[in-house]
Structure 1
Amino acid sequence: MALADGSEAEEAPPGAWRAGGSGSAAHGPRNGLATGRVIPTHPRPRRALPLGGTVSIEAPPDGSELATSFEGATVRDARPSEARRRFADDEVARNKGLRDKLLADRDELRSPDGLNAQGGEEQEVEAYLDVDEATKSDGSFDEEGTSDDKLEPKAKRRASFGRGLVEVARRIAVEDPRLRVRPDTFLPRVFYFENTYLGGAAAYRERLRRLDESLSEDERPYHLAHGYRQAFDPPARAGLSVSADVDAPYYDGPRRTFLQVGLQGSPRHGWRRPPLDVMIVVDRRAFAQDGDAVIEVIVAALRQLGAADRLGIVVAGQAPTTFMPLSRIERARSFLATRLDGLKAPLSAPADALEAAMGKAGALLAAAADDPSLVPGSQTLLLVTAGDDAASVAGAARAAHALTTQGAVTSVLSLYDGGERGGWWQVANAGYGNYHAQGGDESVGAVIAEELASLARVVARLVRVNVRLGKHARAVRVLGTRVLDAEEVARVKAREVAMDKSLSRAMGITSDRGEDDDGMQTVIPYFYGDDSHVILIELWVDGPGAVADVTVRYKDMVNLDNAVARASVRLDARPRPRSPEALLVQRNVEGAKLAEALQRASHRVKWSDPLGAVRELDRAAALARHTSAVDRRVVRDFRDLVAEQRWRHDEARRAALMESLQLAGERKVGEPAPR
C-alpha cells in the first residue's frame, strides 16, 4: 500500500496499531477495518497525544501488508503495553490484599480480644454520648475536637469520626448472595412516602415524655437510640444542602443497591426569624387553673416579640370574644397597659367554645394577611389551656388542622398543677406546632422564650424531596417508612400549598407549589439548623449509568427565599475501590435494618410472643455487631427487658415495652445524632 510520501508499506503483523505523528487515518465501515487511506491531520484533533496527532491503522483480515512507520511518525501497539499490564496486575493484587486485610481486621474486631483492645463497649458508649471526638492528622485525638486546619471541610468532618470510620471500614462484610436475587415486585415510579424526620414533632416529644414517666431511668434504652453522625457538607450560604450516594462502588451485574439521600441543615440559625403574627387563644379552663399565669403569658409575649411582630387575643366563651385585635407590638403595649386587668374568665362556655375561638383567631389572621395595606407576618396561634377534656381536645385538633390549610401553625401551652396534662399535644401535632406543659418551677417566660427560639432554629420549611430514578433503577422499598395512600397524599399537598401561600404573603417568597413532580417524594414541614437526616431507598439496578437525580425544593429561612438543592449519583462499569461515602451508606443501611428489627420486636411484644421478640432482637444484635457499641448496648438492654416475665402479665408494662421498642426504631431513623 502506498503512503502519502509515495513509499511502500512494510510488512506488519496482524493486529491493531496506533501511530502518533502528524497524520490521521480515515476509517471505513464500523466493522473495525481501515481503508488504508491517509488523510491530512485535522487542525484541531479531538484527542492530542504528547507526540502530536493520531494515526490509527488496522490490519485487514487477509493479513495484507500495512505500514508500521513513516516519516515524522512514531508507531506503538494499541494493545496494553507490558508496563501497563504489570501496573494493572499490581492494582488488582493490591486491592485484593487490602480487602483480605479489612476482612481479617473485621473478624479480629468482632472477637472478645479485639473488642477489649478497642477499649470495651462501656468506654465507647461513654465517648459516643459525652465527647465529640476528632482526630489530628496522625489519627490521635486532641482536647478540643479539632483537626488540621489545612483539611478541607469534608475532610475535617470525616476526621471527626475518628476511630468510628476506621471501624466501619474494617467491618466490610462478604456480599450477601440475596443481593443478587431480583425482587418480585417494585414500587411505582411516582409515589409519596411518609416523612421520617422527627425534629421537634409534638407527638414524638409527648410519646417520649410519657414513656419516661412510666419507666425507671435504667429501663430507657430508647434514649441511646438515634441516627449516626454524618459527614455531610453543610451549605455555604443556603439553609439546606443535599447529597446522594450508593453503597456499591461500581456496577458489576444486576443487584440490589441502597441509595442514600442526605440532608444537612445550615449552622447559620438563630440570628434572625421572620416577623410573626401571633394570636393568643385563651381557654376558659386556663383561667380556672391559674389566672395569673394567663396574664404572665401575655406579658411575656409582649416582652419577647419584636417591633415587626403583631399580637392579638381571643377568649373562648359563650361566643368567641376578640379581647385585642391583631396589632403591632407598640400599639398592643399601649392597649394592654390600661385594659389587661379587665381580662377575666367567661361565665360559661359550650363544649365547642375552644374550636370556635380558634376559628375566630384564624379568620383574624387570614384577614390581616389579605390586607394589602399591611405587611403580614408568619401566622402562629398560641393556645393557652388546661385540664383533660377529650371532646375539647378533639375539637381543637380539628381546628388546628384547618388552620394549617391557611398556612398557620398552632402551638399549645398547657397549664397544669402536677396532675394529668391531658391530650393537648395532639392539637400541637395536628397544627405543626410545639407543645409546652407549664407547671412546677418552670416560668411562663421561659416557655415563651423556648417557643420563639424554636422558630428561630428553623432553617428550612416545606422541604420537598424528589427522587427520580434512572432507566436501569427500580425502587424496592424506602427503609423505615411507608407509602402514603391517596387520602394522606391529598392532606399533605393541601397543607403544603396553604403554607406556601402563607409564607409568600408573610415573607415575600414567591409561591412555587401546587404541581406534582415526577418520582418518589416526601414533604418535611420544617428542618432545624445543624440537623442531619438520611433517607434510604433499596433499589434494583440492572445496568450501568445514572442511578438517581435528587431535587430538594424548600423555603430558605436563612436567606428568606425559594431555594433548590440538587444532587445525582451514577454507577459505572469501571471497577474502583469503595469510597468512604459508600462505607457510611452501608453503616446507615445496617442501622435502618436494626431499627426495623426493633419495630418487629415491638409487634411481637404486642401479641405476647416473647420467643418471637427475642428472635428479632437476636437479628438486631447481629446487625449491631457491624455498627457501634452504642447499638449493641441498646439491643442488649432491650433483650434484658424482654426476658423479664412481668410484662407478660401486666398490660401497662407490656404497653410501655412495646412503645419503647417502637420509639427506639423511629429514633434510629429520624432522630439526629447529638452534637
Structure 2
Amino acid sequence: MSNCDKIRKRLAEDGVEAAELPEVASHLEGCAGCAAFLETLGGVEAALHELPMTDATDALVAKTLRAVRRAARDDGAGSGGGGASARPAVRDRWFAAGLAASVLIATGIGLNMGPDVPSYKRNVGDQLASFDMFDSSDEIRNYSKAATREQVIVMESPAYKGEDISRLESRSGSSAASPPADKKKDASGYLFGGEAGGLADDLALTESAEEVEREQDIVAQLDAEDQNRQTGERSKLNRLNEQSEPTVSVAAPPPPPPPQLEPEEKLFAPPAGVKSKDSDDRVVESVSPGLIAPPKNESSRGDQSLQALDESSRDQVAAIEGNDKKPARKRQSGVGRTADPDQIVAPVPDGWADTDVTGKERRIVVVPELASKPKPKPAPVVYRDRALAAGFIERYRSLDGLTFQDPAGYWANTYIPGDPAMRVLGARLRDWNRAAFGSRGAFEQSVRGVVQPFDAPRDAALAVYLSADTPAIDGPTRMRIQVGLKGAERQGGRRPAMNIGLVIDLRGVVAPGAGARIRALILALESAKQPEDRFSLIVAGPGGGLVVAPEQFKHGPLRVAMDLMFGAGRDAGDPAVGLTEAVGLAAESARSGDDPAAVLGSSLVMLVTGSSMAGELEALESMAHRNAVAGLPLSIIGLAAGENPRQVDRLVAAGQGNRRILDSAQAAEGLVDRELHAASRAVARAVRLRIRLAPGVKLIDVMGSRRLAEPQAERVREAEQSIDRRLSRNLGIQADRGDDEEGLQIVIPAYQAGDEHVILLDVVVEKAGPIADVTARYKDVIHLKNGVARASLTVARGSAIAGPLELNVFKNLVAREYALRTGDAGRYLTVGDMRGAIDSIVALRDLIGDLRATVTGWRSDPDLAADESSLNDYLSALSASAVADADQRHFVAASLRYAAFLKLQTAAR
C-alpha cells in the first residue's frame, strides 16, 4: 500500500479530524491528490451533518437497551462459571454497545432517506464511490463502503440463510409494543436505570427461548466470521461493491482455443476433471488442482428499469469499433438461456467472433444505470464465468497434439546484461503529451514485471533455484519447470585500466539530435579517461578510418575530429569505410594494447550506431565471435534512429558484450561510467547451465529460447573455453572446460551482480517423483575459484494446493502471455488494424480479470490489478477521438510494445 493509500485510509476511518495529526498534515501539504480527497470527504461529512435529526421509536430504543443488558448479563454469567444453560458469551460489552450504536445510526440514515428528505438520493457509500478514494485497489475502496452494508453482510451469514423473511420482520416488530408502565423514563420517554430483574422481565415479554437460541447461533457465527474478515468478508464486500456500481462489460474473442475442444457439457477436456454448472452464470469448479479458488457468483445486475438506460453507455460500447449503429433489441444469449431482464444486448461489431471457446454466444452487455448519474470514468468489468481462465490453464495442460524435443544439446542464451534495448522508446514515451487521454493515459507506466522469490547468495557468486507450477500429480501431466538465477549483491570496486576501440557509425544521414549525443559520448569518454587507459576513435562512413589514435585521445584532437565529423568539412564524396572494416580497425587497435594478464573485459570494441546493419550482419557476427574468443568483447550503444534490436542482440550475444541505449546527451556520462565499470560488476564468468530431465519427462520447449545448430554450438564452446583459459592465466582459477555434458546446456558468458533471470521449460511428466535437476558451473570472480550451484525438483503424488512458489511460476507464464498479446496489439495498431488491436487487448484484459477471480490469492494481487487497469486504459484510448490523430495512434502503439517489454523484466522487491 502506497503512502497516499495509507493517508486516505486514515482519513476515511478517523474523519477530517485526522488531518490535524502531524504526519497527515505534512503529507497533505505536498500532495494535491490527498488534499482534494480530504476536501471531498469533508463535503460528505458536512452533508451528513446537514441531515435532519429523527428520533428513534420507543420500540427500537427498548430493544437496543435489552440487547445491551443481555450482553452484560451474559458476560456476568460467563465469568461466574455458568452451567449448560448459560448463553455463549458475546465478544464483550463494548461490542454490544457498538452494535447498538450501529443500529441507531443505520436506523437514522434509513429514516432520513424516506419521503421526508426527497433531496437525499444516495447513501454514504455511493457518495464515497463518486470519487477516487484510493488509486486502484478495490480491496481498500470496499473498506470505506463496509459500514453502509453491514446489515446486508449479516443477512448473508449462514445463520440467517434460509430463514423466513417475514419471520425476521415479525421479530423486529415484536418490540413495537409500549414498555411496561412501571419502567422509569426520562424526559424524552427513553428507558433508563433498569435492574437485572427488569432485564429478565423484558426478555420474557419479547423473546421466546427458541428465538434467544437462534440469536446465540447468529452471534457465534459472527464471531467466527470476524476472525476471517480479511479473507471471507472482504470477498463479500467486493461482490457487494460490484453489484452496487453501474457496469459496462465488453466481451471479446479469447485466446485461440486448444485443439479438439470437448462438447460444451464437458467445457474442457481431462485430465483435470472439470465440473461445471449449466446456468447463465457458469462457473468452472476444477480445472487445475490447487490453482483455482472455490467458485463464487460474480454476476452483477442493474437495479433500474430498461427505460432508464443511459444512452451514453451504449455509445461508449459502440465507439470502441467506431460503430455508429443503434443498439440492437434484446435477444437470446444462447441456446436454452435467456438474457438477464435488466440488461440490453448491444450489437456485436463486425468481424468479432459470435461464440467463445465454450460455445456460448458472445455479447456486449450494458447494465443500465440512472441517466442522471454522472460517469467520471468507465466502470469496471464484471466477469460472468471462469471460461477464459479455465481455457488458458487448459491450453497449457492439454496433452493433445504435442511434439517433443530432445532434452540435450546447446540452447540459446537469453540473458544479455546491459541497459534494456528499448530504453530509447521508453524515453520517447516519457516525453509524450498524454493530455488528450485525461486521467487514463498512464498506459505502460503502470506495468510492472514479476517479483521473483530469489535470494542472493552470501558466500558464492551465483545461486540457482528450481520450481514448477504443479505441486502434485496422479498421472501424465503437462507443467512448467522454472530455472531461476540470482547474482550476488556486491558493491562496485575500482575499475581496471580500460583498452577501448570506439567506432562511430556515420554511414547514413545523421538523425536530428544524434550528433549532439555522439559528441557528448566522446567528451564523456575523454573526461572519464584515466592515465592508464587507452582509447582510440574510428569512424565508419565517408572519410572514415582511424581518426584519433590512442596516444592522441585528448581534448584538442577530439574537438578537431568532431568538427570534421559533423561540420561542413565532411564530404559525402570521400572514400567510405564500411562498418565491418571499421570494427576490424578498432579490434586491431585494442588488440595492440591488450594486456593478457588484465581483467577479462577490460579490452573491448564499443560500437555506436543508429543505422541498420542488415547488409553486414553475418560478417559482423563472425568477426564479433572471433574477437570475443581472443578476449575482445563487443558492446553496442544504440541511437535508435533506425537500429534493429534483433540485430543488436545477435551481435552482442556473439561478441559477449553489453547493449546500451543513448537516448539523450545528458545520459552520456552515466552510460560511459556503467560501461567502464561493467568488467568489475561481473560476479561470475563462463556460466554453464546443465538441465537434466528425469526419465519419463518429455521436453516440449524452452520458452523464449531456441536450439542451436552445430555451427552455433561450436561458437559457444570456443567462447567458453577462451574465457576458461584466460581466467586461469590471469586470475589463477583452474581451467575445467572442454567436454560437453549430458542434458540441456545453456552458456552465459558473464553474469552481473544482483541480476535475476528466469528460464521456463514446458514439459510433460509421466509420474510423480524426481523430475529434474540443474547444475550451474561458473568462474567465481569474487572468490577467485570454480563455483558450482545445484538444485533438484521432485513432484509429490496425489493432489495439493499450489503454494507461493508454484504461483510464481504460473505468474511468469501469464507475464509471457501479457507480453505476447500487448506486442501483437501494438503491431496491429502500427499497420492500422484497429479491430485486431482491440481484439488482442480485450481478450487479454478479460483473461487477467478471470484469472484474478479464479486463482487462489490473486484477487487482491496489485501487479495483476495494475495490468488490468492499464488494459482498460488502452481500450479507453482506442475508443477516444484522439486516436484519429496518426501521431497519437503511433504513440499508443509504441506504448503497447514497450508494455510488452516491461512485463518480462524482473521487478525489484
Same fold (TM over 0.5): yes
Structure 2: segments with no counterpart, 5+ residues: 1-225, 243-288, 295-388
How big is each residue's C-alpha offset from its partner over 1:51-88, in whole Å with a ceiling of 9 and x where there is no partner?
A: xxxxxxxxxxxxxxxxxxxxxxxxxxxxxxxxxxxxxx
CA distance in 1, matches of 2:873, 2:882: 12
Which of 613, 630, 634 in structure 1 is aligned with 2:863? Answer: 630
Contact kept, 8 Å, 1:314 with 1:320, in 2: the verdict is: yes
- Give yes or no for the alignment of 1:448 onto 2:672: yes
Residue 673 of structure 1: aligned partner: 907
Contact kept, 8 Å, 1:598 with 1:620, in 2: the verdict is: no
Residue 238 of structure 2: aligned partner: 113
Which of 524, 535, 546 in structure 1 is aligned with 2:759? Answer: 535
Which of 443, 450, 454 in structure 2 is aligned with 1:228? Answer: 450
Work out which structure has the larger RCO, using CA pairs closer than 8 Å and 6 or more positions apart in sequence. 1
- Give yes or no for the alignment of 1:433 onto 2:666: no
Question: What one-letter code is carried by the residue in structure 1 that aligns with 2:864?
Answer: D
Contact kept, 8 Å, 1:102 with 1:170, in 2: the verdict is: no
Deviation at 1:426, TM superposition (A): 7.4
CA distance in 1, matches of 2:460, 2:611: 44
CA distance in 1, matches of 2:597, 2:453: 47
CA distance in 1, matches of 2:229, 2:408: 43
CA distance in 1, matches of 2:413, 2:813: 17
Q: 1:515 to 1:203 in 2, by over 3 A?
A: farther
Deviation at 1:342, TM superposition (A): 7.1
Indicate the SS of the match to 2:691. strand
Deviation at 1:102, TM superposition (A): 13
- Give yes or no for the alignment of 1:184 onto 2:411: no
Report matched runs for 1:493-532 at 5 Å: 494=715, 497-498=718-719, 501=722, 504-505=725-726, 507-508=730-731, 516-524=740-748, 526-532=750-756
Contact kept, 8 Å, 1:477 with 1:539, in 2: the verdict is: yes
Which of 238, 247, 257 in structure 1 is aligned with 2:460? Answer: 238
Deviation at 1:222, TM superposition (A): 2.7
Residue 424 of structure 2: aligned partner: 206
CA distance in 2, matches of 1:602, 1:292: 33
Q: 1:583 to 1:377 in 2, by over 3 A?
A: closer
Indicate the SS of the match to 1:468. strand
Report matched runs for 1:177-576 at 5 Å: 178=394, 181-188=398-405, 189-190=407-408, 195-197=413-415, 199-213=417-431, 216=434, 219-271=441-493, 276-281=498-503, 289=515, 293=520, 296-303=523-530, 307=532, 310-314=534-538, 318=543, 320-321=545-546, 323-325=548-550, 336=554, 345=564, 349-369=574-594, 378-383=602-607, 399=620, 402-407=623-628, 408-412=632-636, 421=641, 423=643, 429=649, 430-431=651-652, 432-437=657-662, 439-440=664-665, 442=666, 444-479=668-703, 481-484=704-707, 486=709, 490-491=711-712, 494=715, 497-498=718-719, 501=722, 504-505=725-726, 507-508=730-731, 516-524=740-748, 526-573=750-797
Which of 293, 299, 303 in structure 2 is aligned with 1:173? Answer: 293
Indicate the SS of the match to 1:558. coil
Structure 1: segments with no counterpart, 5+ residues: 1-100, 118-168, 326-331
CA distance in 1, matches of 2:230, 2:583: 62
Question: What one-letter code is carried by the residue in structure 2 that aligns with 1:673?
Answer: A
Question: What one-letter code is carried by the residue in structure 2 that aligns with 1:672?
Answer: T
How big is each residue's C-alpha offset from its partner over 1:396-440, in whole Å with a ceiling of 9 and x where there is no partner?
A: 99647622442133345679xxxx855387776433423343755
Contact kept, 8 Å, 1:245 with 1:259, in 2: the verdict is: yes
Deviation at 1:569, TM superposition (A): 0.6
Q: 1:520 to 1:499 in 2, by over 3 A?
A: closer
- State the identity as a percent: 27
- Give yes or no for the alignment of 1:640 onto 2:877: no
Give the paired residue count. Answer: 502
Contact kept, 8 Å, 1:256 with 1:540, in 2: the verdict is: yes
Deviation at 1:202, TM superposition (A): 5.0
Indicate the SS of the match to 1:280. strand
How big is each residue's C-alpha offset from its partner over 1:580-617, in whole Å with a ceiling of 9 and x where there is no partner?
A: 43344344444444444544555665644234541232
Q: 1:499 to 1:353 in 2, by over 3 A?
A: farther
CA distance in 1, matches of 2:862, 2:514: 51
Deviation at 1:570, TM superposition (A): 1.2
Deviation at 1:263, TM superposition (A): 1.2
CA distance in 2, matches of 1:215, 1:198: 32
Indicate the SS of the match to 2:490. coil
Indicate the SS of the match to 1:406. helix
Question: What one-letter code is carried by the residue in structure 2 that aligns with 1:296?
Answer: L
Residue 58 of structure 2: aligned partner: none
Deviation at 1:538, TM superposition (A): 3.0
- Give yes or no for the alignment of 1:620 onto 2:848: yes
Aligned-pair RMSD on alpha carbons? 4.8
| TM-score, length of structure 1 as denominator length | 0.61
Deviation at 1:521, TM superposition (A): 4.2
Q: 1:237 to 1:410 in 2, by over 3 A?
A: same
Deviation at 1:273, TM superposition (A): 5.2
Deviation at 1:660, TM superposition (A): 3.5
How big is each residue's C-alpha offset from its partner over 1:357-404, in whole Å with a ceiling of 9 and x where there is no partner?
A: 2211112334555x769887533223457xx6657x965996476224
Which structure features the higher share of strand residues?
A: 1
Report matched runs for 1:59-138 at 5 Å: 110=235, 112-113=237-238
Residue 122 of structure 1: aligned partner: none
Deviation at 1:223, TM superposition (A): 3.5
CA distance in 1, matches of 2:811, 2:627: 41
CA distance in 2, matches of 1:576, 1:621: 24
Deviation at 1:264, TM superposition (A): 1.2
Contact kept, 8 Å, 1:297 with 1:448, in 2: the verdict is: yes
CA distance in 2, matches of 1:384, 1:668: 27
